[in-house]
Structure 1
């Protein structure tokens, strides 16, 4: 009896030690996650604080944290001081990003369906072909695209950016959505087809609701890529189709770098992406982790 009691006590002591070790590792990982989050958040907080300073205080080295706060940077960004208005550029960015993202989803969903639920022959080669299109540096295709746009009269046209952003984001969207749609139960699709549902109905009413987190994650990533794109927008647009990132570069002039104004403009231009990410954060987490845990 004494031996059994000692074994039980030893087992309890060992289990308690193991639980303590697990809690300690969990606390350490939690602290590390908080430190990583703070490191990533500090530049944004620094940018927000600098945007609320005057140009003189923002240019001091080292910077002054106790400097007076002002909204002059935001007033200058929105054209209150007689500068150019940012609204045309913001509207162009919104149009190009939203329309291209919708086009990508409309094209990527049937393609991913064909590669996952109804796989074509050598579907892995097809996926590799899609991915290989991203291996070419974007600058390598800049000159032929510029000559094409010039000869067709599409320079400084926002719809050219829509086509370009759609073609640029489509391979990534197909690759992502193929893995998402592979998790859709085939039995549900077959049941809908037995009931007489055609392919558009199956995609819209069966596949899309089940794969909604993955579709939302894909849409958000495509929107971010389109909103932040600068190279093609800088070369192919002028004053009519100028996007927000191109408008932002206009604050770097020969007169110098207006740091407070640039920080204010950067913060405002980042807000649509931050708002979209915050609104779809639950779908984004579900989509990016879809299929990770069986």
Structure 2
């Protein structure tokens, strides 16, 4: 098989994979412009309507949107700060059994939320924190910090020791080395890690639907209101889903260069 044929085959497979991955989002986008009776029919021949968006974009929607923005950005900021500092400590400080502590953080990522929801709910109820944005920020930060540590630890380990030694010889303190040398070197890695935390938090549903009622519910909870005893309103759910994914898609589009650089930074040693 010639190189040209191999390249064409690989390209075709890549396009097919992308198409399969994008199909649910494209179907959701098209369904958001259909009448409810037309959603179940997989056809491109339909009369577009904005009724679903008019039914979804209400003052209640913006209330949930504001809650999602507050919870997500609060989670990302706290997770990024604590995650970066924790990663630095695991790599460069004299913590005993640092590897064991690192693997403990990793294992918490795979812990299902349903396994801890009962004690978490009781604690929040005792502290009168149910249906508060602070509770959601703390819960999501508990998942965001391990993710930041998991990725940022690799980025710190990839920093050449010669650079740190040169900074020390030049009289740079540990704090100065951290802020002036290390953080700029792993900037893309921090951005990519924070973006992953953003996506996970923005889409989080289980904690939000369990620990909130009306005041602090987020957009995923708002979407669930279209699942009623009378049936599922797929057109309205598709419109709400399109609005929900719009912000992460735009954020990823404008930061994709840093995201790709950050994801590949720790894969190859320099």
Q: TM-score range by the shorter chain?
A: over 0.9
CA distance in 1, matches of 2:151, 2:91: 11
CA distance in 1, matches of 2:202, 2:105: 22
CA distance in 2, matches of 1:160, 1:118: 31
Give the alignment partner of residue 162 of structure 1, picking from 128, 134, 137.
137
SS in 1 for 2:109: coil
Matched ranges for 1:184-199 at <5 A: 184-199=159-174
Shift of 1:196: 4.4
Shift of 1:194: 4.1
Give the alignment partner of residue 279 of structure 1, picking from 250, 254, 259.
254
The count of residues paired between Structure 1 and Structure 2 equals: 269
Instruction: Output one character per residue of 1:42-99: Cα deviation in whole Å (capped at 9) or x when no partner.
Output: 111111111111222224xx333211001111111012xxxx6211111111111111
Give the alignment partner of residue 15 of structure 2, picking from 34, 39, 43.
34
The match for 1:23 is: 4
SS in 1 for 2:34: coil
SS in 1 for 2:84: helix
TM-score, normalisation: structure 2: 0.93
CA distance in 1, matches of 2:260, 2:126: 44
Give the alignment partner of residue 230 of structure 2, picking from 233, 248, 255.
255
2:40 counterpart of 1:65 = no
Gaps of at least 5 residues in structure 2 are none
Matched ranges for 1:1-294 at <5 A: 21-59=2-40, 62-79=41-58, 85-118=60-93, 120-294=95-269
SS in 2 for 1:68: coil
SS in 1 for 2:121: helix
Instruction: Output one character per residue of 1:144-167: Cα deviation in whole Å (capped at 9) or x when no partner.
Output: 111111111101000111111111
Conserved in 2, the CA contact under 8 Å of 1:130 and 1:171? yes
CA distance in 2, matches of 1:153, 1:257: 33
Change (3 A) 1:215 1:40: same
CA distance in 2, matches of 1:26, 1:165: 43
Root-mean-square deviation (CA, aligned residues, Å) is: 1.8
Give the number of the structure whose alpha-carbon radius of gyration is greater.
1
Shift of 1:103: 0.7
TM-score, normalisation: structure 1: 0.86
